[in-house]
Amino acid sequence: MMRVSGENLHRHAQALFPICRSITGEGLRRTLAYIAERIPLGLQEIPSGEKVLDWEIPPEWNVAGAYVARLSGERVVDFADNNLHLVQYSLPMDRVVPREELKSHLHSLPDQPDLVPYRTSYYKPDWGFCVAHSTLARLTDEAYRVVIDSRLAPGSLTLGECLLEGESRDEVLISTHCCHPSLANDNLSAIAVAIEMARALQERRRRFTYRFLFMPGTIGAIAWLARNRERVHRIRHGLVLSCLGDGAPPSYKMSRRGDAPIDRYARHALSRRGQESRVRPFSPYGYDERQYCSPGFDLPVGALMRSPNGTFPEYHTSADNLDFIRPEALADSYALLDEIVDMIERDRIYVSRSPYGEPQLGRRGLYGDGEGYDWMSMMWTLNLADGRHSVLDMAERSGKPFASIAAAAAAAARAGLLAAAE
Amino acid sequence: MMRVSGENLHRHAQALFPICRSITGEGLRRTLAYIAERIPLGLQEIPSGEKVLDWEIPPEWNVAGAYVARLSGERVVDFADNNLHLVQYSLPMDRVVPREELKSHLHSLPDQPDLVPYRTSYYKPDWGFCVAHSTLARLTDEAYRVVIDSRLAPGSLTLGECLLEGESRDEVLISTHCCHPSLANDNLSAIAVAIEMARALQERRRRFTYRFLFMPGTIGAIAWLARNRERVHRIRHGLVLSCLGDGAPPSYKMSRRGDAPIDRYARHALSRRGQESRVRPFSPYGYDERQYCSPGFDLPVGALMRSPNGTFPEYHTSADNLDFIRPEALADSYALLDEIVDMIERDRIYVSRSPYGEPQLGRRGLYGDGEGYDWMSMMWTLNLADGRHSVLDMAERSGKPFASIAAAAAAAARAGLLAAAE
Amino acid sequence: MMRVSGENLHRHAQALFPICRSITGEGLRRTLAYIAERIPLGLQEIPSGEKVLDWEIPPEWNVAGAYVARLSGERVVDFADNNLHLVQYSLPMDRVVPREELKSHLHSLPDQPDLVPYRTSYYKPDWGFCVAHSTLARLTDEAYRVVIDSRLAPGSLTLGECLLEGESRDEVLISTHCCHPSLANDNLSAIAVAIEMARALQERRRRFTYRFLFMPGTIGAIAWLARNRERVHRIRHGLVLSCLGDGAPPSYKMSRRGDAPIDRYARHALSRRGQESRVRPFSPYGYDERQYCSPGFDLPVGALMRSPNGTFPEYHTSADNLDFIRPEALADSYALLDEIVDMIERDRIYVSRSPYGEPQLGRRGLYGDGEGYDWMSMMWTLNLADGRHSVLDMAERSGKPFASIAAAAAAAARAGLLAAAE
């Protein structure tokens, strides 16, 4: 398949980085608009107050500006400098606040004194600012003026959905959260990879139907699941994408089932790269796999990341910026996803039409030189084509790459030795 | 639950140590009488000659005294000094015996020359004495007078049974052998722990019915099984207790099934203590688990010990005395048994009433601080409450302690998020 | 069972070594005639051109002599010196050949310059000679006379089959290829072991019917399978024998199924010798297990070897000679095969007639001294005789040798404690 350049992927992150996204609001809409310019994207607005599973869509939050200023007017913390400075869903205000009260609303990282943390208060009415810990020492005035020009009011939550129909109505789900403000790895990296994968899939023959979801984490996934409860049984394979741009090797978190085909595809791909130890068991914490893998749904959805959430020092801080994500890492993440998609598309059951004794390969020219498979891959393929082994099963049992078995099976099918099972 | 002091447990051993028990007789009856003063104990007398499974109840054996004396009258071996000196079930006699004949009836331990071994001859009519190996060298006279004031005659074998009824007729069996004379670890240690556990269980709400058996090893268990063949199917979990007072860490021998819940409870408890390597596979040798796990019964009964039988140098010698067993080891064994009983009582299947997506914990205050569980235990509990996972399954999959999952499940059930399955 | 001396086995190899065998022809017939003088052997001739599964029986090849000579008449390569010198199935010819054309038909081993390789061209019409690489440098003349006095013409392929009927029509298959010319380990070693095993089996009571096949590799097995398609379902256990004389420890290649009884017998035998690591997974390359384990047949047939094919430097060279195979290795291979046959014959399910509690062994004298089993083997046998454990299952679970469990089971059956299940 097509390779995508890391620079190309990084440019999406550059374009989207300045926008202040949240779980609702104009920043989220602008992000989805950017995506919609590149791939066919359907948008849904879900009104505040709508019941979605055990939850309720919150009011919409928008912010025009926010700062903390000395009474002299000098701004000491300003949302205009970095949208992480404002705790998300902070209530509007404009008043003079005594220093001690202010401090109880300031969040910082004593162990990483130069970084600004990322904080939210979606469901508890509150306000606050996030600052570098080093800033705190400089706040010696008796009182400060705090201005938050935000609006928290009934509105809606926006979902973006790109559906690429395939030969089958069975679906592959690719889900990315889009609610974080200026954080590059978490999750512009994954948005960039998803955009390009959707583009590439538009151009190829698709056995499966692909559904890309771009939406806020947790509440977005819950809203989508609430509205698509009758449809989720069509999802055969799914991946939550996040943190795909940092320098660590890729990792995979298994679905709750643990033995779904997607789990085996990802494991195979990582083990071929010598990174099988980066396959982690399911845990009910992380990103939206939590929702897809809740017990009522229990979908075959795993999570593809490089550094897992919470395991890198830049996580949820101002250090998760455009320098932190690397073009070569983005390109490598894309290539891995592409490899997994290729397995999803090409895995199938083959049945031998000549199962008694070995077929004579010599007279058929099936020794494989230069055809993407080697002779032993052909031998394994013919031996295991009993209607009980998929291409992946053959690859796992033989120790051969999936691609080599798939190529051998295709060649043997062309020679009339195998038939693809329905 | 209540803690029991090691000194308290040790006192039971002290009280019972001097009694000369055997598989029948007054010593056994006195031992059961001591227990009956402390817990409700039903007694059965099974007459000599009764057929029990493949066996037959032997004659009853009682002994008033026994010694080997020089012809001058000086006693060189005396039952009054240590009841191990007499081979159990020795036939009565009073005659002068040439030295060589005597020596063929003396048992000693050349590698442990100061210790007196413990020997029996229940089913082969014989007589003998057990002595320190160092004693043998001093027996230089031509002949000795051997007096055994024993009585081997039709009588009965005594079984003690403590039944504590619970909400369910499903039973938990706790079985201890009571046939050894003055040996402290084997098995006064286990008798002491069983007495206190029965006492504690009397005071608590019991989901299960508990049946404590105090009886002679092998023939006692066989007799009980013979008389309760129609009832054993009610036994859901069982433990044979023995050797619970020595200084080694606790160990567990699996039931024949190997995957019974009791096996998993014990493994979980030992692995939480870092002692999973002390879990041993079933083997058809040991104590009465041999009978409970014979193929016709195949009951879910494992064996709890500290040092396994036969693996410590004091085993079946005069060194297995009141100094060998330690109060702190007895208390630790009790605590482990208590933990396993707690798992038996609290393990159950929960089903989520909000299985689609994550329930919103914040508005319900289910983050767990100070409630005996942590937040991740709650997340795992809600995620796995699909009607196919027990509390133990959840603990094993999550790596969380059983108690933490049980507490989270109870809290979630109180909040209406889970229902206990029938 | 009877032991067979290594010298005796080696003598078969000595007698057969000089013969130039191929997949058809008189050398193969002489080899089968030698075998037929020792065991009852049925012979079949399958005519050239007959369709067998996906293949066709090739023309018959015979060779009277072949050489490369200087134009002076001096022979520089001569089939009379070593039948490996001629590529098998070389077409007849007698002409003067320029040096460069000759060289394109010479095969040598640059890394093993003193050895003559073994080459064939069964299905591609061609000619060639195999020489020591050191010989090549001496071929400096402009042209050579090449004489191949061979005949490639319609004839037949010969199969040898030794059937020893047993109490059951269920079969054990022992298959050895006989197509290689003067190569001792591959496969005269296996032919020798198979001859002696067939002889020994003639003399003993046989629960199973034994079928020994002596025939050319690949095409022979394919021909036999083609003619016996309706009969192969009777094969309960099978072994392909090859390379049984070299100094390496024995090895076993599992059947395609991987968990067939034959796989477990061989694993048990090798693990008792501390050589479990010599058990290798199935792979669709090797000897005739490839055909027996093709997906349409999928028979429980593994392969017994010492050094696996292709893993020793002497493989398919003139160094695989009578010195390379050792009498003691041949005897050890025979003993291992004998042990496996013994397991095949003695493995069965036993059911306890006294399953409730332990049977009392003392009164029955079943403690095992000198009866080929020890007391714990008896305890395990009685405990596991529940109708779900075979003798092998018992041996694996207990860690006891198969022979010890089999002896205990036989003793318990004689005492009326066990019954063999049908």
The amino acid present at C260, given as its one-letter code, is A
pLDDT per residue as tens digits for the range B214-251? 999 999 999 999 999 999 999 999 999 999 999 999 99
Q: How far is CA B271 from the centre of its chain?
A: 21
Q: What is the pLDDT of residues A316-336, one digit of tens each?
A: 999 999 999 999 999 999 999
- What would the two tokens of residue A252 be? 């995979």
Q: Would you say A184 and A329 are in contact if contact means Cβ atoms under 8 Å apart?
A: no
Task: Indicate the pLDDT class of residue A2, thresholds 50, 70 and 90.
Answer: low
Average pLDDT taken over every residue of chain B: 97
Instruction: Provide the pLDDT for residue B2.
Output: 60
Show the beta-strand stretches assigned E in B221-354.
235-241, 251-253, 279-280, 301-305, 349-352
| Cα C1 to Cα A335, B288, C203, C251, C340, distances in angstroms | 62, 40, 10, 22, 12
User: In the predicted model, what is the mean pLDDT of residues A307-312?
Assistant: 95
What is the distance between the alpha carbons of residues B309 and B244, in angstroms, rounded to a whole number? 11
Alpha-carbon distance of C173 to B115, in angstroms, equals: 61
Mean pLDDT by 10 residues, chain C (422 residues): 85 98 98 98 98 98 98 97 98 97 98 98 96 95 98 98 98 98 98 98 97 98 97 97 98 98 98 96 97 98 97 97 98 98 97 97 87 95 97 97 97 96 79
Q: Is B416 on the interface with A (CB under 8 A)?
A: no
Residues C25-58: tens digit of each pLDDT:
999 999 999 999 999 999 999 999 999 999 999 9
Instruction: Please state, in angstroms and rounded to a whole number, the distance separating the CA atoms of residues B169 and C283.
Output: 55
pLDDT-above-70 percentage for chain A:
99
A389-398 pLDDT per residue, tens: 999 999 999 9
CB-nearest partner of A383 from C54, C226, C294:
C294
Residue B100: its H or E element? helix B99-103
The yes-or-no verdict on residue B66 having pLDDT over 60 is yes
User: Which pLDDT score, from 0 to 100, does residue A370 have?
Assistant: 81
Contact call for C285 and A379, based on CB within 8 A: yes
**pLDDT recorded at residue A87:** 98
Answer whether residue B171 shows pLDDT above 70.
yes
For the record, the structure tokens of A206 come out as 């698709």
CB contact A285 to C (< 8 Å): no
Mean pLDDT of B173-189: 98
Q: How far is residue B348's CA from residue A404's CA, in Å, rounded to a whole number? A: 48
Interchain CB distance below 8 Å, C123 and A363: yes
DSSP type of residue B325: S
Helix, strand and coil in chain B, % to nearest 5: 35, 25, 40
Distance (Å, whole) CA C28 – CA C32? 6
Q: Please tell me the predicted confidence (pLDDT) of residue A368.
A: 82
Question: How many CB atoms are located within 10 Å of the residue C137 CB?
Answer: 8
Asked if residue C135 lies in contact with residue C76, where contact means CB atoms within 8 angstroms, the answer is yes
Mean pLDDT score of chain A, rounded to an integer? Answer: 97
Residue C235 and residue C228: Cα distance in Å, rounded? 11
Ranges of beta strands (E only) in B88-153 are 93-98, 106-107, 129-130, 143-153
- Please list, in sequence order, all residues whose beta carbon lies within 8 angstroms of the beta carbon of residue C307, skipping any fewer than 6 positions away: C185, C243, C246, C248, C251, C315
Pairing assessment for the beta strands A209-215 and B386-390 based on DSSP bridges: unpaired
Q: Is B276 on the interface with A (CB under 8 A)?
A: no
Nearest to A362 among C123, C225, C284 (CB): C123
Examine the pLDDT at A351 and tell me if it is beyond 60: yes
* pLDDT of B290: 97
Q: Give the single-character DSSP code of C249.
A: P
Query: Do the beta carbons of residue B96 and residue B192 sit within 8 Å?
Result: no
- Paired strand residues for B153: B60
Interface subset of A 41-60, CB within 8 angstroms of C: none
pLDDT for the residue numbered B4:
87
Chain A contact set for B376 (CB, 8 A): 283-285
CB spacing of A221 vs B352 below 8 angstroms:
no
Contact (CB, 8 A) for A102 and A144 = yes
Phi, psi of A402 (to 5 degrees): -50, -45
Cβ neighbours for C24, distance < 8 A, ≥ 6 positions apart: C48, C57, C58, C59, C60, C61, C155, C156, C157, C158, C216
Note whether A303 contacts C: Cβ–Cβ < 8 A. Answer: no
Nearest chain A alpha carbon to C54: A359
Instruction: State whether B356 and A285 contact (CB < 8 Å).
Output: no
Give the pLDDT score at C3. 73
Could you tell me how far CA C122 lies from the centroid of its own chain? 21
User: Contact B363/A284, CB-based, under 8 Å?
Assistant: no
**Quick one: pLDDT band at residue B371, thresholds 50, 70, 90?**
confident
B198, B39 Cβ separation under 8 angstroms: yes
What residues in A contact B360, CB-CB < 8 Å?
Answer: 54-55, 123
CA atoms within 13 A on the CB side of B44: 16
Instruction: For residue C117, give every residue at least 6 positions away whose Cβ sits within 8 Å of its Cβ, in sequence order, or none.
Output: C84, C107, C108, C109, C130, C316, C317, C318
Contact C296 A355 (CB under 8 A): yes
pLDDT in the model for residue B50 = 98
Q: In the sheet where A143-153 sits, what is the strand order?
A: A75-78, A60-70, A143-153, A93-98
HSE-CB for A6 with a 13 A CA cutoff: 14
Contacts of A358 in chain C (CB under 8 A): 54, 218, 222, 284, 290-291, 294
Could you say which of B123, B222, B256 has the minimum Cβ distance to residue C357? B222
Q: Residue B370: is its pLDDT beyond 90?
A: no
The chains in contact with chain C, meaning 3 or more Cβ pairs closer than 8 Å, are: A, B
* Cα torsion B76, B80, B81, B87: sign: positive
Give B205: exposed, middle or buried? Use CB within 10 Å, 0-12, 13-18, 19+: exposed
Nearest-CA distance from A357 to chain C in Å? 5
pLDDT of residue C227: 97
With a CB-CB cutoff of 8 Å, which residues 205-224 of chain A face chain B?
218, 221-222
With an 8 Å Cβ cutoff, are B383 and A293 in contact? yes
Residue A1, pLDDT > 80, answer: no
* C287 part of contact set with chain B, CB < 8 Å: no
- A31 burial via Cβ count (<10 Å: 0-12, 13-18, 19+): buried
CB C92 within 8 A of CB A395: no
Q: Which residue, chain included where needed, has tokens 């690949």?
A: C218
**A294 vs B358, B360, B380: nearest CB:** B358
CA distance B270 to A47: 53
Are C241 and C306 in contact, with CB atoms under 8 Å apart?
no
3-state secondary structure of B198: helix
Supply the pLDDT for residue A367.
Answer: 86
**pLDDT computed for residue A114 by the predictor:** 97
Per-residue pLDDT averaged across A128-149, rounded? 96
The partner residue sitting opposite A225, judged by closest CB among B357, B360, B384, is: B357
Q: Longest Cα pair distance anywhere in chain B, in angstroms?
A: 93
Nearest CB to A356 within list C53, C283, C290: C53
Q: What is the chain B residue with the closest CA to A121? A: B362
Q: Does A359 touch chain C (CB under 8 A)?
A: yes
